[in-house]
Structure formats: C-alpha cells, structure tokens
Amino acid sequence: MNFARTTLSLLLLAAISTIARAQSEKTREQVKAEFAQAARTGNVIPAGDAGLRLNELYPQRYPQAPEAVVVSRAQVRAELAEAIRNGELVPAGEGQATLSEAFPQRYPARAVVASGKTRAEVNAETLAAIRSGDVYAAGEGTMKLNEEYPQRYARARPMYAGKTQDSTALAASTTAR
C-alpha cells in the first residue's frame, strides 16, 4: 500500500512538472532574440567579481533610458481632438481598421510623402555598405561585418568612409582588381 501511494505521488509530480515545463519553454529563436536585446542594451552580467551589469559598469557604451515626456492635459485633449478629426481612432469592437480607413469619404485625404532617394542612389549606398562591411552578418550575429572581421575591411574603410560613389564606378573598381 505504501509502495503504491509513493509510486502514484511520484507519477503525479512528474506529470505536473512536465506540464509546467511545457508551458514555460521558449523557442530557441525567442531566447536568442532576448539575449541579443539584452546584449544591445548592456543588460548582461560579465564574468568577474563586480556583480554589475555592463550598462552599469560602462554607461557611456549603451543608450540611456529616455526621460519621461511631460504632456499637459490640454495637449492631450488637443491631440485627441485632432485624432478624432482625422479619423485616426479605432472604433471599439470593430477590428483593426481606423475610422479613416473604414470610411475614407468622411475624412480628409492624407498627403503621400515621396521617398527622397532614387533606386540608383539606394543601390549605390547598399553596394558601398557591403564593400565597407557596414552591414550586419547573416544569422544570429549582432555585430556588423567590419566589426566582426576588421582585417577584411581595413583597406575598404578609408576608401568609402568620406564619399559615396555611383554604382558604375564601384563596379569598375571591383572588376579592375
């Protein structure tokens, strides 16, 4: 009888622990994303005896938390009135669409802002960033290529640092090598 009671209690305990573990487990990607965020903000404890986080040891290396913006009651009311006029509110229980999206004829048309760069300019900047290593490595890295492999981009850094070249000049310089 004692053996049966012990066995039953152990089985129940094992079942409860597996259910709790299954509910609290995170995917590998979630854990990596959380660690990358903590590393960017310096919210990790380095090896050593200090017991302080990196952002506490070296506050100049990490962005500071933004200060709270104080907004007066009158400013909040003015912003709400403008949002009502422009139809930027989502009606309760009506889904994700704002009033201006659901009923565009009732609200003034919004001005469309055109991009400031042409496709060729964006392509030239992208090529220059790739050549200088000013892009993030594919995969799980949080460092740019020129930070991760400085020896590969030592020659390219001074060449592209102060000026941008058009794509034809960049293509010609790579084929000449």
Residue 32 has pLDDT above 80, yes or no: yes
Give alpha helix (H) positions in 25-155.
28-41, 54-57, 73-86, 99-102, 119-132, 145-148
Domain carrying residue 54: 2-61
**pLDDT score for 120:** 93
Q: Determine the average pLDDT of the residues in 28-33.
A: 90
pLDDT (tens digit per residue) in 44-87: 888 876 778 888 888 888 887 777 888 999 999 999 999 999 88
Question: Model's pTM, two decimal places?
Answer: 0.29
Residue 30: inside a domain: yes
Are both 41 and 81 inside the same structural domain? Answer: no
Are both 13 and 44 inside the same structural domain? Answer: yes
Mean pLDDT of the residues in the chain: 79
pLDDT (tens digit per residue) in 102-128: 888 888 887 777 778 889 999 999 999
Residue 152: inside a domain: yes
CA-nearest of 160, 159, 158, 134 to 147 is: 134
Q: For residue 73, is it left (φ>0), alpha (ψ between -120 and 50) or beta? A: alpha
Cβ neighbors of 18 (< 8 A, separation 6 or more) are none
CA–CA gap between residue 124 and residue 167 (Å, rounded)? 5
Residue 100: inside a domain: yes
Task: Please count the structural domains in the chain.
Answer: 3
Residue 53, burial from CB neighbour count under 10 angstroms (0-12, 13-18, 19+): middle
Q: How confident is the model at residue 156 (pLDDT cuts 50, 70, 90)?
A: low
Residue 126: inside a domain: yes
Q: Count CB neighbours of 107 within 10 A.
A: 17
Residue 68: inside a domain: no
Are both 98 and 132 inside the same structural domain? Answer: no
Residue 172: inside a domain: no
**pLDDT score for 140:** 67
